[in-house]
């Protein structure tokens, strides 16, 4: 079996969504200065790096992150690799670059995955996202979890329509993936978001396993 870590590293320098809190990860107890152990302090937004969105992120009465279904977060997943020329993932893209019927967990690999390896510390507004009609197509086709390889599932400055459609249909949104090391095809996804009670999202470790 092959294991692929599709989570991005969490560092003090990493980019976060504009206006979201920056990551602070620092040691506050140090063996070298006489403490009994090394202990670090972590401060971060819940949409830091690889993370899930809960319906409450965009829907005031939506479910919060601890209520997301583990059986949806874990299981067979299909990675769809779109060419670098794709700027926006709309319904027409899914007609041209099809994914198999009955796909419940779909991870979309775009040119975004290069950003994590080339400039992880700079926010890139030109990332590829899913349009509102692309989101409607996913709902129509019965997808239960949608993953993408940058910090939002929607194109920049067009967050609300796509998120509302997906979260309104209770799809789980997995953002901030690094899919640069995986090719198109089937894998087993393991995704375990932190159990942050009442939160609108949570950082997650996500891996793909190929048999």
Nearest distance from C-beta of residue 93 to Zn ion, angstroms: 22
Name the residue among 166, 157, 176, 178 with its Cα closest to residue 132: 166
Sign of CA dihedral 169, 143, 66, 131: negative
Nearest distance from C-beta of residue 39 to Zn ion, angstroms: 28
Using CB under 5 A as the binding rule, whether residue 149 contacts Zn ion is answered as no
* CA pair distance 47, 97, nearest whole angstrom: 29
Using CB under 5 A as the binding rule, whether residue 109 contacts Zn ion is answered as no
Nearest distance from C-beta of residue 57 to Zn ion, angstroms: 6
Q: Please, which of residues 175-194 interact with Zn ion by CB under 5 A?
A: 175
* CA pair distance 79, 81, nearest whole angstrom: 6
From 47, 51, 57, 163, active-site residue:
57
Q: Please, which of residues 50-79 interact with Zn ion by CB under 5 A?
A: 53
Residue 102 annotated among the catalytic residues of the structure: no
For residue 195, give both structure tokens: 């159990």
Query: CA geometry: angle at 53 spanning 84 and 51, to 5°?
Result: 65
Using CB under 5 A as the binding rule, whether residue 144 contacts Zn ion is answered as no
Which of 7, 15, 23, 47 touches Zn ion by CB under 5 A? Answer: 47
C-alpha gyration radius of the chain: 17
Binding site for Zn ion (CB under 5 A): 47, 53, 175, 201
């Amino acid at each position: 079996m092959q294991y692929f870590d599709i989570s991005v590293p969490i560092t003090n320098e990493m980019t976060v969504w504009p206006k979201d809190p920056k990551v602070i990860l620092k040691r506050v107890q140090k063996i070298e200065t006489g403490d009994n152990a090394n202990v670090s302090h972590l401060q971060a937004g819940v949409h830091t790096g690889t993370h899930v969105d809960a319906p409450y992120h965009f829907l005031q009465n939506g479910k919060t992150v601890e209520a997301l279904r583990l059986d949806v977060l874990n299981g067979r997943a299909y990675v769809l690799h779109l060419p670098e020329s794709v700027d926006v993932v709309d319904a027409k893209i899914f007609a041209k670059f099809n994914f198999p019927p009955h796909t419940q967990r779909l991870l979309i690999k775009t040119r975004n995955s290069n950003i994590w390896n080339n400039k992880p510390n700079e926010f890139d507004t030109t990332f590829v996202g899913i349009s509102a009609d692309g989101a409607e197509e996913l709902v129509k086709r019965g997808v239960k979890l949608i993953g993408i390889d940058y910090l939002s599932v929607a194109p920049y400055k067009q967050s609300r329509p796509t998120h509302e459609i997906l979260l309104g249909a209770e799809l789980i949104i997995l953002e901030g993936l690094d899919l640069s090391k995986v090719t198109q095809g089937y894998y087993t996804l393991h995704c375990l978001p932190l159990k942050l009670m009442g939160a609108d999202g949570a950082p997650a470790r996500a891996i793909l396993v190929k048999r």
